[in-house]
Amino acid sequence: MKILVCVKQVPDSWAEKKLTPAKVLDRESADAVLNDLDEYAVEEALRIVEANGGAEAGHTITLLSMGPERAQEALRKGLSMGADNALHVKDDALAGSDALTTSRILAEAIKRENPDLILTGTESTDARMSVIPAMLSERLDLPHLSFAGEVHVDVNARTIKSKRMTDEGVEAMESPMPAIVTVIEKINEPRYPSFKGIMAAKKKSISELSLADLGVAPSEVGSSGAWSAVNDFALAPARGAGVKVTDDGNGGGALVEFLAEKRLI
């Protein structure tokens, strides 16, 4: 079984983020890390392999990322967790690409690999669009098991069962392979890379793919090929001081009055 995991490098979630004059995220102004939510996808891939006989049974995990040169750091992190190898789609023309282009590029790279299972996070912690996996499903014409809080793979039957966590409850999903599975953060606890894993990752292969390798013209990607543009932005309004209720014997009544005024009760 060949598992492919889509991983994105993002600015550190805790760092203060800035926009450039061109109204895109200034990625150089913050430390870059592997998208937290993609760590769960890498961890789940490792657990699926372990539950199905391990690497000895011929299962492999390939990471795929589209991003600039330094996206390799995020790939190395995934490799140090235990993935086998990685693909890095890198081309100067890709800067400024929107979600439609990102999904197209990832889909072209995935087609070359022909994996049995594709895992992704639910969203990136920077753009937070949460659309790439669904777009991949459309482009590749593959089933999409979204918001998976539990995944079981039957390699012999070539089926995937997942539990889809929604606000209303849990939905049991089943699909033939190949398929795309989007995992939520409750699915597992990602492992820390061990010292051995970090050393081993230095020797693992990261293959670079250019637009030419994927048969995509530079004019179709980047900001010039984008279908969406950021026209304007504004800071969210500062929060007001709130209302302080002093309990002078009628605190309960004052609270009820406040909640009723806000139509909360």
Ligand X SMILES: Cc1cc2nc3c(=O)[nH]c(=O)nc-3n(C[C@H](O)[C@H](O)[C@H](O)COP(=O)(O)OP(=O)(O)OC[C@H]3O[C@@H](n4cnc5c(N)ncnc54)[C@H](O)[C@@H]3O)c2cc1C
Q: Which one, 95 or 217, has the nearer CB to ligand X?
A: 95
Cβ 176 to ligand X shortest distance, Å: 22
Cβ 217 to ligand X shortest distance, Å: 18
The alpha-helical segments, DSSP class H, found in 114-165 are 132-140
Residue ranges in 76-95 that form contacts with ligand X under rule CB under 6 A: 95
Looking at the DSSP bridge assignments, the partners of residue 25 are 19
Looking at the DSSP bridge assignments, the partners of residue 2 are 60
Binding of residue 188 to ligand X (CB under 6 A): no
Binding of residue 206 to ligand X (CB under 6 A): no
Q: Which one, 191 or 254, has the nearer CB to ligand X?
A: 191
Q: Using the rule CB under 6 A, give the single segment among 63-71, 166-174, 209-217, 249-257 that binds ligand X.
A: 63-71
Q: Are 136 and 101 in contact (CB under 8 A)?
A: no
Rounded to the nearest 5°, which phi and psi values hold at 198? -65, -40
Report the candidate in 78, 88, 12, 85 with the shortest Cα–Cα distance to residue 40.
78
| d(C-alpha 156, C-alpha 105), whole Å | 31
Q: Which one, 80 or 122, has the nearer CB to ligand X?
A: 122
Q: What is the dihedral of CA 99, 105, 109, 112, to 10 degrees?
A: 120
The one among 17, 36, 47, 131 contacting ligand X by CB under 6 A? 131
The one among 15, 51, 129, 245 contacting ligand X by CB under 6 A? 129
For residue 125, the SS3 value is: coil
Q: Which one, 227 or 251, has the nearer CB to ligand X?
A: 227
| d(C-alpha 46, C-alpha 173), whole Å | 21
Return the structure tokens found at 237. 């309004």
Q: Are 191 and 81 in contact (CB under 8 A)?
A: yes
Residue ranges in 10-29 that form contacts with ligand X under rule CB under 6 A: 24
Binding of residue 228 to ligand X (CB under 6 A): yes
Q: Which one, 82 or 121, has the nearer CB to ligand X?
A: 121
Binding of residue 221 to ligand X (CB under 6 A): no
The one among 1, 4, 30, 38 contacting ligand X by CB under 6 A? 38
Helices then strands, each counted (H, E), the chain: 7, 11
**Which spans of this chain sit near ligand X (rule: CB under 6 A)?**
6-8, 24, 35, 37-38, 41, 64-67, 95-99, 102, 106, 120-121, 123-124, 126-133, 226, 228-230
